[in-house]
Structure 1
């Protein structure tokens, strides 16, 4: 059964809820992933072709998965391979929980940022050999603040807290560190880390919109960042991930272990083909894709805003990763990953669908 955190509107007791949730997340993330792994290990030991368990998170960045699920593209592509594929969908929050679930065997495909991918690629090299499967598209991520005094990242102080899906692991955390390194030098890449706090995107967005909490910044993703900008007149963009990374980039990706890929070649091919089908569907049917997102996520987002996000020229739904190598080089340069990638192909599986990556 999917695990979901949901919050679509601010409530009077939000500050107390935020504090309790922050505490529970900081104390319980590892236990949560372990419990998830245990629940799967009882009912689903190592499996053969025809089953795949996919972990996703929150936001439009996972629209490819939403569409593939709604349109049953994995099942359809599986039948072309002679398989009746069963797909289990799990929703988690944060790269740490995602990586724990993958390494524990609770899921087969993990969805998270490039930062978590590079972290787990580095740590499993020569063992589980986790690598990227595909991109979920190019989408700009905004660092939004409701503090009028914060115009740039240099304006954050110890009184501010920046919400991230996972501290030190998520792609938002890594892009923030990359931005800090560009401003103050590599030796101060972690200068803003003390101001960051783990919080799921829906709750962080609610905090920014409501105001009056310790959360004054949120490095999120669509549609939460757009909801913040529309919902609070004080909310404004402090940082755009595209500016840090040097242009359109694949911030969120899917990855898997070498064992799953090699042991389930037909299921793996069907899944990647389904992603391509989903990308084609979204690009051809943005209105229908918006309806699928709302239905799949039980979202209360304004539909017109959602369609606007999907149709944004800066948003590109494609499976080949783009512009990921600069972040990989930075992470090695400052020592957060030990293995130095020579190219993006070091941390992505070699597949025709991603051959045009970067």
Structure 2
């Protein structure tokens, strides 16, 4: 099946942006600059509408706005990476101050840095259902994937998509086989994976993605269909993407940290009240080649909720400890999120 003109354009753009992001990431990791006290914040985001609140904050300069209210002129720097592993490495190397990734990468880095950098969650970016989409007509459930299939996701064994797939596998085949599908999983940025699913004819027959890529696959390839929904695996609406930081950054930059959270809060209110304008913001900031009405429909999906408090994350935390993915068993979600007002009503 051939790519549509829009898909070809998007694929070419993705390759360029992904290559640039890789170069920037390598340079940042090679010579990271130390965190500064107040007035500077470096934020790592990834691909997809799940980062819409950051797009809004960037477009409206909300961090800078709330910084001025706190008496601080804040310089904001943005980096785009792909995969929880890259994001976690960037945070620990000192290349960024705020990391954006799934709950899986947060739990991994929280466990890894306990008693050292003490990385914890800063806020959720909202609840979004993640779909595992396939273009293989023989695959009706995850049990039907074979050695000939390849499932694309941001980072094997680390990303939230990978962890949710492991949890689904454990429910199907037992805890001892939770990583059964890891061997046919491959790390690939969402835009690249979506292009492969839409085009067909490649080794990639499955993609555990996020909006808008999963919706594009379903709309542009008539053979594409949903095999797994993250909400079904986790037992309901859940935070898909979260932001996290080191204890030192939070402690050394209280005004900048507060301004960042207030900016997110205003962005969440804006996106909830103005889905059309939020869609325009996403298109403007990311340069994505998406139909505006298509994007608005995704944002208006009743399953999508813009909340800063994490929701339904503890199920994954318990699972990851149970299978040995993290050494520490958190007593509750509060152990891996900072004690802040915006996250007080989490779970």
* TM score, norm. by length of structure 1: 0.91
- Alignment of structure 1 residues 103-114 onto 2, 5 Å: 103-114=92-103
Contact 1:34-1:101 at 8 Å conserved across structures: no
Which portions of structure 1, spanning 4 or more consecutive aligned residues, are displaced by more than 6 angstroms? none
Is the alpha carbon distance of 1:182 and 1:255 closer, same or farther for their aligned partners in structure 2, counting shifts above 3 Å? same
Q: Distance in 2 between matches of 1:242 and 1:142?
A: 9
TM-superposed CA distance for 1:279, in Å, is: 0.2
The alpha-carbon deviation at position 34 of structure 1 amounts to 4.6
Among 30, 37, 40, the alignment partner of 1:38 is: 30
SS of structure 2 residue aligned to 1:117: helix
The equivalences for 1:1-358 within 5 A come to: 9-10=7-8, 33-39=25-31, 41=32, 44-358=33-347
Match of 1:4 in 2: none
Residue-by-residue CA offset, 1:182-221 (whole Å, 9 max, x unaligned): 1111111001000100000000000000000000000000
Asked whether the equivalents of residues 10 and 207 of structure 1 are also in contact (C-alpha less than 8 Å), the reply is: no
**CA distance in 1: counterparts of 2:239 and 2:49, whole angstroms:** 13
Quote how far apart the aligned CAs of 1:33 are: 4.3
3-state DSSP class of the match of 1:149? coil
**1:266-296 Cα distance to aligned partner (Å, 9 max, x none):** 1000000100000000011110000000011
Tell me the CA shift for residue 48 of structure 1: 1.4
CA distance in 1, matches of 2:280, 2:245: 29
Change (3 A) 1:8 1:268: farther
What is the CA distance between 1:36 and its match in structure 2?
A: 1.9
CA offsets, 1:102-139, max 9 Å, x none? Answer: 00000000000000000000000010000000000000
What number of residue pairs does the alignment pair up?
339
Structure 2, unaligned runs of 5 or more: none
Query: Take 1:10 and 1:189, find their aligned partners in 2: how far apart are those partners?
Result: 36
Give the C-alpha shift of residue 46 in structure 1. 3.0
When the two chains are superposed, the root-mean-square deviation of aligned CA atoms in Å is: 2.1
Change (3 A) 1:164 1:129: same
Q: For residues 238 and 342 of structure 1, what CA distance do their matches in structure 2 show?
A: 32
Quick one: distance in 2 between partners of 1:145 and 1:226?
12
TM-score, normalised with respect to structure 2: 0.94
